[in-house]
Amino acid sequence: MSVIQRENIISVIVITYNQEKTIKRTLDSITMQQCHLPVEIVIGEDCSTDNTKGVIQDYIHEAERNSSLKKFSFNLISSTINKGIIDNYFDCLQACNGKYIADCAGDDYWTDEKKLEKAVCMMENDPSITLVHTNWQFVDEKDGAVSDSGRQQFDAPVTNGKEMLEAIICQTDRPIIHLCTALYRADTIMEAYKEDTFLFRNKEFGCEDLQIAFMLAQKGNIAYIPDITLNYSIGHDSVSNQPSNRKQYIFVARTTNLSHYLSKRFCIQSANTEKYFERRLFALCMFAFRAKDRELRNRIHDYQKDWNTVPSFRIKLVRMIMNSNATWETALFIRKIVLLLKKCK
């Protein structure tokens, strides 16, 4: 089997879809980086219906004429069909030539011009580190307000990755590792990709970042830099913030299936994982309830069985309410009144 000879450069993956208003900002945050290694920017443009592709092409054209950006090269991978986030990301990953890989989504942007330099220096000095990540913050696209992202659970400079595996599986709010802040070793993730391509390419797992973070933690040490280097965009629809209860139900079900797959494969079972799967099952109940969707309600039993989850009282209660249209309608009406009263306070 031939071994890919990777260049001593950093490849930055940018996946984008219908982000004509933000993609230039993302690319600016990458080309402002001051790093001793050259940077290759691999852009996965997933058949946008707006002018995202045109904005990118204009940006590349201008950048290639700018002598101050000679350390940056571009590879635009433009799809003629909408592939979705899974295939878009991993097609880009396979196109990367760099020894190190970073990523920045097309609606987010880096805020620290030394982000890549800080991370790559740590990895060059310590071969046991498979990934370096940093602190980050939210930015609201509606008003530009910036807010704190919360406490970092593993804030030591270097942590044995295996100590993080359960937490990565069980994350529901703040990600243990925000991949858009990370720099990781290409050879390490490609080794994991070859070992279990299903883990990375299965579209029913719904996301691309959790399995990457997990496998890099499973295979080495994880370094953390407390500096804020990323503004993570909120206040709009996204993969993890769907515009309807039905779509959010599907996203949560898929990512929980991913966590369950990892839990089974690596024999990670504890009171924490049991609590996690119960919480996710309850979340599905509530999405189905708010959507008043009988099909979604009927799927819950299958997820309960697949995840080997013992239903709690609150799950039993919501499912009981959804057993008849009358109680379902009444409960939705009561919920509506309660929400109105809260707004009036």
The whole-number average pLDDT for the span 326-334 is: 96
Q: What angle do CA 91, 97, 100 make, to 5 degrees?
A: 100
Mean pLDDT of the chain: 95
Question: Distances from the Cα of 153 to the Cαs of 159, 226, 260, in angstroms?
Answer: 11, 12, 21
Q: Longest C-alpha distance within the chain, in Å? A: 69
Q: Give 109-118 pLDDT, tens digit per residue.
A: 999 999 999 9
Please state, in angstroms and rounded to a whole number, the distance separating the CA atoms of residues 170 and 96.
30
Q: Give 266-321 pLDDT, tens digit per residue.
A: 999 999 999 999 999 999 999 999 999 999 999 999 999 999 999 999 999 999 99
Q: Give 169-225 pLDDT, tens digit per residue.
A: 999 888 999 999 999 999 999 999 999 999 999 999 999 999 999 999 999 999 999
Give the pLDDT score at 4.
60
Please state, in angstroms and rounded to a whole number, the distance separating the CA atoms of residues 240 and 247.
10
Residue 3 has pLDDT above 70, yes or no: no
**What's the whole-model pTM score?**
0.94
Residue 2 has pLDDT above 60, yes or no: no
Give the pLDDT score at 80.
93
3-state secondary structure 22-40: CHHHHHHHHHCCCCCCCEE
